Every structure is written in structure tokens, then in C-alpha cells.
Amino acid sequence: MVNKKITAKRVALLGVFAAVAVALSAAENMIPPLPFMPPGAKLGLSNIITMFLSMNGMLIPSVFISLAKGIFSLLTRGVTAGAMSAAGGILSSLVIFLLAKNKKESLISLGITGAVSHNLAQLFVSFFIVGDTVFYYAPFLIVFAVISGSITSLIMKYTSTYAARILGGKDKL
Amino acid sequence: MKRPFFRPSDIILVAALLVFGGVFIFMPKNEGKTVEIMADGELKATLPLSIDTEYAVGEVVVVIEKGAARIEKSDCKDKICVGTGKLKNKGDTAVCLPNKVSVRVSGYRETDGVTW
């Protein structure tokens, strides 16, 4: 990453990915909460973008997109939501980036650990706001992360080749 | 080399997470006797569940009815606290992040929160 030039193509692609991530999270807000879901839990469809980038070694673009998503949440749903979104995105990007260095690590394990770390980061942010009562949610969030992480990685299985094609072969963002 | 979608060792990861979460979710629950209402990290009130009443913290209205407490109204956007529904077992919690208000049935074992 360090020696790479900032080219127009790279900036444009980053913008495209950020736009897709924001669009996905906006679309997701329109889905009504399902009865079995813990209060406040979401599927995290936009995490597909950050997962794709960080698992292919593009940690910094992934963190950038997490911040873009955080700013979007900040504008539409307030400071708390913004901080939680950014914290979740950045931690899960980091976790996926590190785990993906092992090329045998499966998509589903990356998706699930990403979702778990995302939810736990959010839990810690809310811990600083309301106190230890929020840890009551932890088991629900972990179980739900297994489900949402599996869904994310399943979508990834069928879409990552197209996303890689947009990037243009081995070119990294 | 293509990354596999699934490998057998993932079963251990999934099982461990589900068991860990499941143990806490399905732990035997006891009905609580009182609820603690916190705002801004401070205990505002401890109310008995046995007496039907209403309590307001700022714009958040807590209602106790038929042995269960719930957040009836809140001015926040997302209404997650209202959607949480009835609280009657020890440890049941509803949180309103925007208003920094939480309602919890007393008797929650603190160690669960510390050691997970």
C-alpha cells in the first residue's frame, strides 16, 4: 500500500465501492425487522464490500469505506449510530484482513468472525454510552452474527468474481 | 489458489459460538421483583414489578403492568427500546441509546457481564 501511487482510477473505484456500501446499508434500513432478530440487529449487507476488500489484502480502502458508512449513519441516524457503525466496520475489517492472510481460511469462517467482531465492537461502543447493562445482548448478538456472517459469505461466494473483475485482474485498490 | 467456501474445521467455530450464545440465552430464568431505571449511567429509580405504575425519564416513558415492565414511549428515531417489549425475568434489559436510558430487571448476576 505504502509505495502505491494515488491514481484517478483507484480513487474512482474506491468511490464506486463506497457508494455501493452506502446504498446497501440504505436499502437494508428499509427492510422491516424480523421477529426473531434481537432488537437493533441488522443483516449487515454492506459489510460484503468491506469483507471483499479486507480479505483481498486491501485493509486501508476497507477502513476508508467503514468510515464513509459511519459518516452516512451519522447523517441519517445520529452520532451514536455513526460511532457504532464505524467501530464495527473498522474492527471487522482488521480481523478479516489478518485472518485472510491464511489462504486456506474459508469464506464462511471469515464472514462469521467478521460479523462477530463487528457486533462486539458495537457492543463496546454502547457500553461506553449506557454501561454494563448492554452486555445482556452479547449472546443474542453472537448467535445472530453466525447467521448474518453465513449469509454474507454465501453472497460473497457468488459475487466476488464480479467484484474482482471490476478491479481489473490482480490490480489492487 | 481459490479460497474454499467451507472447510470441516469451521464446524468447530460455528458450534462454539452457538453453544456459547445458547448457554446464556437459554439459562434458567427467574422472574425478578424490581426494575432499575438508569439514565446517564446513574440509577434514577428502583420500582417494584408488583405495582402497576408509570415512570418518565426525560422523553422515555416506562410502564409497569401485570408484573412486567416495558418502555412505552420514547422520542428517539429507531425505537429499539420500545421494540424490546416486556421485561420480567432477572437481567431482562431494554436500552435507549440516544437517550442514554436503560431499564433492567434487578437480580442480574454481575459476573456474567464481566467474565464472558
Residue A101 maps to a domain = yes
Taking 50 as the pLDDT cut, the residues of chain A under it are: 1-2
Chain A residues lying within 8 Å of B94, measured CB to CB: 39
Residue A105 maps to a domain = yes
Q: What is the pLDDT of residue B116?
A: 40
Q: Does B22 touch chain A (CB under 8 A)?
A: yes
Q: How confident is the model at residue B1 (pLDDT cuts 50, 70, 90)?
A: low
Residue B38 maps to a domain = yes
pLDDT tens per residue, range B31-49: 788 899 999 888 888 898 8
Closest-CA distance, A143 to chain B, in angstroms, reads: 6
Q: What is the pLDDT of residue A8?
A: 86
Residue A1 maps to a domain = no
Chain A residues lying within 8 Å of B104, measured CB to CB: 133, 136
Residue B44 maps to a domain = yes
Residue A96 maps to a domain = yes
Identify the domain containing residue A115 by its residue range. Answer: 9-29+42-167
Identify the domain containing residue B110 by its residue range. Answer: 34-115
B residues 35-94 closer than 8 Å to A (CB): 38, 41, 77-78, 80-81, 83-84, 91-94
Residue B62 maps to a domain = yes
Closest by CA to B63, choosing from B41, B81, B40, is B81
Residue A35 maps to a domain = no
Question: Can you give the CATH number for the domain in which B70 is found?
Answer: 2.60.320.10
**Domain tally, chain A:** 1
Distance in angstroms between the alpha carbons of the first and the last residue of chain A: 9
Residue A84: strand, helix, or coil: helix
Instruction: Quote ipTM for the complex.
Output: 0.80
Cβ separation of B100 and A130 shorter than 8 Å? yes
Q: What is the pLDDT of residue B113?
A: 45
Residue A116 maps to a domain = yes
Question: Can you give the CATH number for the domain in which A145 is found?
Answer: 1.10.1760.20
Q: In whole angstroms, what is the distance from residue A44 CA to residue A17 CA?
A: 15
Q: In whole angstroms, what is the distance from residue A45 CA to residue A100 CA?
A: 20
Helical H runs in B26-86?
80-84
pLDDT tens per residue, range B64-95: 988 889 999 888 888 888 888 888 888 788 99
A residues 135-154 closer than 8 Å to B (CB): 135-140, 142-143, 145-146, 153-154
Choose between B108 and A125: higher pLDDT: A125
**Domain tally, chain B:** 1
Cβ separation of B13 and A112 shorter than 8 Å? yes
pLDDT tens per residue, range A54-103: 999 999 999 999 999 999 999 988 888 899 999 999 999 999 999 999 99
Residue A15 maps to a domain = yes
Quick check: B6 and A106 in contact, CB under 8 A?
yes
Residue B83 maps to a domain = yes
